[in-house]
Amino acid sequence: MTITIWHNPACGTSRNTLAMIRASGEEPVIIEYLKEPPSRDRLKALIAVMGITPRDLLRMKGTPYADLGLSEPSLNDDQLLAAMLVHPILINRPIVETPKGTRLCRPSEVVLDLLDRPVAQFTKEDGETVHREGDPHA
């Protein structure tokens, strides 16, 4: 199975998601999107396949979101995409692509639905234990 993660190693959610992928026995293609931002077309394609809008993908916390006035409802999709391309930190993460689908994996356990052999239980960095839905031991 080919898996790609748009990853930020400074983000706990992204690190937990990557660890869950690896715990499933897969080694994903890792794109550190702050170093290698997606092209405009690639970002638009990711948004489209996830079935969300550019505004849905915007990250507010720890970004120039407020300084850039991105909460302004009159901004259109092209303007929001342009902001994300200039400031990739505005792209929420992690985005994971698998043959089963592409999702923004927030919270990190969202990734479990995208894996062929997801772990039944996983302990996150903060000590929280998550159980795969349907696991009788949850």
List the CATH number of the domain containing 125: 3.40.30.10
Strands 101-104 and 95-98 come out as antiparallel
User: Residue 137 domain-assigned?
Assistant: no
How high is the pLDDT of residue 135? Answer: 52
d(CA 28, CA 106): 18
Q: What is the pLDDT of residue 131?
A: 86
109: in domain: yes
pLDDT for residue 137 is more than 60: no
Q: What is the pTM of this model?
A: 0.92
Range of the domain at 70: 4-131
Is residue 18 assigned to a domain? yes
What is the Cα Rg of the chain in Å? 15
pLDDT in the model for residue 28: 98
**Structural domain includes residue 138:** no
Examine the pLDDT at 138 and tell me if it is beyond 50.
Answer: no
65, part of any domain? yes
* Mean pLDDT calculated for residue range 10-23: 97
- Beta pairing partners, 123: 129
* Inside any domain, residue 50: yes
Residue 24 domain-assigned (yes or no): yes
Is-catalytic flag, 105? Answer: no
Q: CA–CA separation, 67 vs 56, rounded Å? A: 18
How many whole angstroms separate alpha carbon 35 and alpha carbon 78?
A: 22
**What confidence tens digit (pLDDT) does each residue in 41-87 have?**
999 999 999 999 999 999 999 999 999 999 999 999 999 999 999 99
**How many beta carbons lie within 10 A of that of residue 94, not counting itself?**
28
Asked, for residue 136, whether it belongs to a domain, the answer is no
Q: How confident is the model at residue 134 (pLDDT cuts 50, 70, 90)?
A: low
Catalytically annotated residue among 3, 6, 7, 11: 11
Residues 18-48 have pLDDT tens digits of: 999 999 999 999 999 999 999 999 999 999 9
Quote the number of domains for the chain. Answer: 1
How confident is the model at residue 68, as a pLDDT? 97
